[in-house]
Structures are given as C-alpha cells and as structure tokens.
Amino acid sequence: MLMFSFIIRIMKITAGMKIQLFGISKDIVGERELALPKDPSIRTVRDLKKWILQKYPRMGNLSSIGIAVDLEYAEDDHPIGEAKEIALIPPVSGG
C-alpha cells in the first residue's frame, strides 16, 4: 500500500504567507518552499485548495487533502486570514 507523508506549513510573512513543503508536496512543486501571495480572493480553506490545485494540478491526483488551521482540522468555509499556521494534510495509510 502506498503511503504519502508530507505536510505543508504556512507561516505569515509580510508579503503574504510562506509555505514550507515536505515529502511528496516538495516533489510535486519542485521547491522546498513557496509563497502564497497576498490575495484578497484567498480567504477560506476552500479558496486555498482552489489556489493550490490551479497552481499545482498534480496535487489533484491525491485521494484527499485535509487542511488544519492553527492545529485543528478545518472545513472548507473556515477563514484563513488570521491563521498563525496552516497545514495541508495528505492522505495517509498504515497497517
């Protein structure tokens, strides 16, 4: 069984948010980190997912993507504007 193990941590920086990439996300993006621009259209988890999938369509090959905002899983309508940390949680499997 295939196991994906990566987390994207997003920390606020002046120009937007800085996204650190690990595991398969780093492989998909081709970088260790990237910046999420300050964009007023990216206000919720749903907006963030859309942005990620538009910029990196291969992320859509993952069976699911969970997003945690400040260490708690968040629904698609959860706002991200005041978040201190956002983590993208990939599908995982174990035995």
Please state the rounded mean pLDDT for residues 47-63. Answer: 88
Residue 13 pLDDT: 44
CATH code, domain with 14: 3.10.20.30
Residue 26 pLDDT: 75
Residue 82 pLDDT: 78
Residue 94 lies in a domain: no
Residue 52 lies in a domain: yes
Q: What is the mean pLDDT of the chain?
A: 75
pLDDT tops 50 at residue 76: yes
Signed CA dihedral, 49, 52, 55, 58: sign only? negative
Q: How many helices (H) and strands (E) does the chain have?
A: 2, 6
CA angle 12, 13, 16 (to 5 degrees): 85
Domain enclosing residue 85, as ranges: 8-89
Residue 3 pLDDT: 46
- How many distinct structural domains can be found in the chain? 1
Residue 21 pLDDT: 65
Residue 73 lies in a domain: yes
Residue 65 lies in a domain: yes
Residue 1 lies in a domain: no
Residue 77 lies in a domain: yes
pLDDT tops 80 at residue 44: yes
